[in-house]
Amino acid sequence: MKIVYKNIYCSSDADNVLELLKKLTEDKATMRIAIFDDDPDILSYLEKIIKPWGRHKIVSFKSVMQGYEYLGLGYDILPASRIDLFLIDLAMPEVDGLSVLKTLRSHEDYFDVPVIMMTGSRKDDVLEEVFQSGATDFILKPFNRIEVKSRLRSALRLKTAIDHWKDKEKELLETNRLLMAANQNYLQLTALDGLTGITNRSTFDKIFEMEWKRAQRNRSEIGLLMIDVDYFKQYNDHYGHPAGDDCLRRVAHALEKSTSKGGDLVARYGGEEFVALLPNTTRRGTYLVAQLMLRNISKLNIPHHAAAEIDHVTVSIGAAHGIPEVGTSSRNFLERADKMLYKAKDAGRARIEFEGQLEVIAGS
Ligand code: GH3
Ligand code: MG
Ligand code: MG
């Protein structure tokens, strides 16, 4: 049996599972120091210096390959280990310390972990290359006990600071994400009508003004429909206000469903009145949308027995269409559609009145 934990993969004999669990739950405060040196005396010397500090774990490697395997370097299936400080001997027989340093710096899990190079060379060009390759510090061999201790301590302090800032950065990103989500929510809430959930009047006004100016600039066509529920006062009086609210929600939804183009916008203009903005839409297109709206509301078949003339909820629609001339106002365009709406009401309701030509469609 194989166990896969995120990208951690190992065979599942009891020891490995225990080791894995230990790794996952290991105290974050324990500093883990990895030492690469082919000289066993150096390894035990460093271990002796570090051990009394407590809350430190040392992993030492005489062989670079053994270290690479432990660190998961070059082995796709092995997990990276958490290391807080590397001590690397510059001159090793198998692979030199500089290559180990470069390998670490190119790995996403180790690129910012402090590395102290241990070298017997005081040559400027050697030290320059060590720093250029990304080393944090160096310790000269033979060791001076005080120097080793203080350099190790300051490298570990650096690692603590790096971790701290990484945590802060993570927190900041999370806070930012939450803020953006809240902002998005707020924008949506303030843009929508509370009762029906469709665009509200103030959002419509802004978008309409924008689209009007755009159509003026581009000399493009624009269609506008004013839609009003017929005999809605009687509906409310007869069926009650909550039923009236429910009716408005269904009407709003059916009106939205009747538009198909990306730029079309249906909004609640107020009370039982709605408006549809149809940018880049021909006269015929505007008319077809209005016709579909009339039909879709009728198809809802919401009973309305309070008004003598009808037996189900219908709407009347006033339509305006044109290419906005420079100097004309969006407000005037809206008034034109509104005038047509009154005409549709006067003519008997459940119909469309389109300015410019008389087009009367009886609500089915
Ligand atoms: P017409 O056919 O001429 O349009 O007549 P109408 O009765 O529909 O028009 P009127 O303007 O006389 O009445 C509109 C009614 O719409 C009155 C008001 O109580 C109701 N109304 C407005 N907003 C809401 C709302 O949010 N919920 C409910 N339930 N009713 C509303
Ligand atoms: Mg009405
Ligand atoms: Mg009205």
pLDDT in tens, 138-148: 999 999 999 99
Q: Do domains 14-179 and 201-362 have the same CATH topology?
A: no
| Average confidence (pLDDT) over 111-129 | 92
Measured from CB, residues less than 6 Å from any atom of ligand 1 are 195, 228-234, 236, 241, 244-245, 248, 271-272, 345, 349
Predicted confidence (pLDDT) at residue 1 exceeds the cutoff of 70: no
Q: What pLDDT sits at residue 28?
A: 64
Q: What pLDDT sits at residue 16?
A: 60
pLDDT, tens only, 211-257 = 999 999 999 999 999 999 999 999 999 999 999 999 999 999 999 99
User: How confident is the prediction for the chain on average, in pLDDT?
Assistant: 89
Q: What pLDDT sits at residue 215?
A: 95
d(CA 279, CA 289): 12
Q: Is 87 left (phi over 0), alpha (psi -120 to 50) or beta?
A: beta
Distance 322 CA to ligand 3 centre (A): 25
pLDDT band at residue 337 under the 50/70/90 scheme: very high
| Average confidence (pLDDT) over 92-109 | 93
Token pair 């059916």 is at which residue?
A: 254
Alpha carbon of residue 107 to chain centroid = 27
d(CA 274, CA 198): 10
Phi, psi of 349 (to 5 degrees): 70, 180
Distance 346 CA to ligand 1 centre (A): 17
| Average confidence (pLDDT) over 346-362 | 76
Distance 278 CA to ligand 1 centre (A): 25
Distance 225 CA to ligand 1 centre (A): 18
Angle at 255 between CA 250 and CA 259, to 5 degrees: 145
d(CA 275, CA 261): 16
Predicted confidence (pLDDT) at residue 42 exceeds the cutoff of 50: yes
CATH of 14-179, one of 3.40.30.10, 3.40.50.2300, 3.40.1080.10, 2.60.120.620: 3.40.50.2300
d(CA 175, CA 334): 43
Q: What pLDDT sits at residue 363?
A: 37
% pLDDT > 70, the chain? 90
d(CA 316, CA 273): 10
Residue nearest to atom 22 of ligand 1 (CA): 271
| Three-class secondary structure of residue 357 per DSSP | strand
| 246-253 long-range contacts, CB within 8 A, separation 24+ | 247/302, 247/313, 248/195, 248/196, 248/272, 249/195, 249/196, 249/197, 250/300, 250/302, 251/297, 251/300, 251/313, 251/315, 252/193, 252/196, 252/197, 252/198, 253/196, 253/198
Which DSSP letter does residue 81 get?
P
> So where are the chain's domains?
14-179, 201-362
Residue nearest to atom 11 of ligand 1 (CA): 233
Q: What pLDDT sits at residue 6?
A: 37
pLDDT band at residue 102 under the 50/70/90 scheme: very high
pLDDT band at residue 204 under the 50/70/90 scheme: very high
pLDDT band at residue 14 under the 50/70/90 scheme: low
d(CA 135, CA 112): 10
| Average confidence (pLDDT) over 323-349 | 95
201-362, CATH topology level: Alpha-Beta Plaits (3.30.70)
Distance 188 CA to ligand 2 centre (A): 27
Q: What pLDDT sits at residue 85?
A: 96
Q: Would you say the pTM of this structure is higher than 0.75?
A: no
Of the listed ranges 21-35, 60-74, 181-195, 324-338, the least confidently predicted one is 21-35
Residue nearest to atom 21 of ligand 1 (CA): 271
Question: Which residues line ion ligand 2, judged by CB < 5 Å?
Answer: 228-229, 232, 272
How would you class 251 by CB atoms within 10 Å of its CB: exposed for 0-12, middle for 13-18, buried for 19 or more? buried
